[in-house]
């Protein structure tokens, strides 16, 4: 059986259709796409079908775990804690994104400094210029303990603030949405 290929006159194989005049395609990493990304997750968080307390509790648990220096296991730990605290697992997973790979080294260095101010363990010194896996391993458990102490302090403060803000935010969003739905029903009548 013979197959025929549909072609556009004058088009070279692999050409994409041309855009209309004056159309500017947004770049992959434009501010517009970044805004859409954050808006998507913001709305996803607000539309979770659980109580505002459960959503806020899950988000604050995720933020707390996101401040701990357990980078590859943050999301897993947050979801497990959310399971035990009976709160939103999705919100907990979203909350761990407070430390993303872009600025995590700066956040963890700040947590290390805070931990060193609170717990004077050893004379281990850490310089951001020497941020290699070998140097971190050589610094050992003292280094991890300092980062953990700083992470717990920052995490508790941020988790408390996150709970206060997010429970109110979810409640207000749902209240506004309920009013919009009621107005929409009244207009149909």
The whole-angstrom separation of Cα 81 and Cα 2 is 60
Q: Which residue has the tokens 């935010």?
A: 169
Q: What is the DSSP string of 105-130?
A: HHHHHHHHHHHHHH---SS----GGG
pLDDT of 30 reads 66
The whole-angstrom separation of Cα 50 and Cα 47 is 9
Answering whether pTM is above 0.75, one says: no
Domain positions in the chain are 50-188
- Beta carbons of 48 and 62 less than 8 angstroms apart: no
- Using DSSP's 3-state secondary structure scheme, residue 178 falls into helix
pLDDT of 153 reads 93
pLDDT in tens, the chain (189 residues): 555 555 555 555 555 555 566 656 655 666 667 788 778 878 888 888 889 999 999 999 999 999 988 877 889 999 999 999 999 999 999 999 888 777 777 888 888 888 888 887 665 565 655 555 456 566 677 777 888 889 999 999 999 999 999 999 999 999 998 999 999 888 887
pLDDT of 77 reads 94
The whole-angstrom separation of Cα 144 and Cα 51 is 36
User: What six digits make up the tokens of 34?
Assistant: 């970044």
């Amino acid at each position: 059986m013979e197959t025929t290929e549909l072609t556009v006159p004058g088009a070279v194989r692999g050409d994409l259709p041309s855009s209309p005049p004056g159309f500017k395609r947004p770049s992959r990493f434009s501010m517009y796409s970044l805004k859409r990304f954050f808006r998507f997750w913001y709305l996803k968080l607000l539309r979770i079908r659980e109580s505002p307390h459960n959503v806020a509790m899950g988000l604050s648990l995720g933020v707390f775990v996101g401040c701990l220096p357990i980078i590859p296991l943050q999301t897993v730990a947050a979801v497990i804690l959310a399971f035990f605290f009976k709160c939103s697992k999705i919100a907990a997973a979203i909350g761990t994104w407070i430390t993303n790979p872009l600025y995590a080294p700066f956040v963890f260095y700040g947590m290390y400094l805070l931990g060193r101010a609170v717990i004077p363990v050893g004379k281990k010194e850490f310089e951001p210029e020497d941020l290699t896996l070998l140097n971190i391993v050589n610094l050992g458990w003292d280094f991890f303990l300092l980062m953990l102490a700083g992470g717990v302090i920052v995490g508790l403060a941020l988790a408390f603030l996150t709970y206060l803000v997010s429970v109110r935010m979810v409640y207000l969003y749902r209240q506004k949405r309920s009013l919009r739905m009621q107005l929409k029903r009244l207009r149909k009548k």
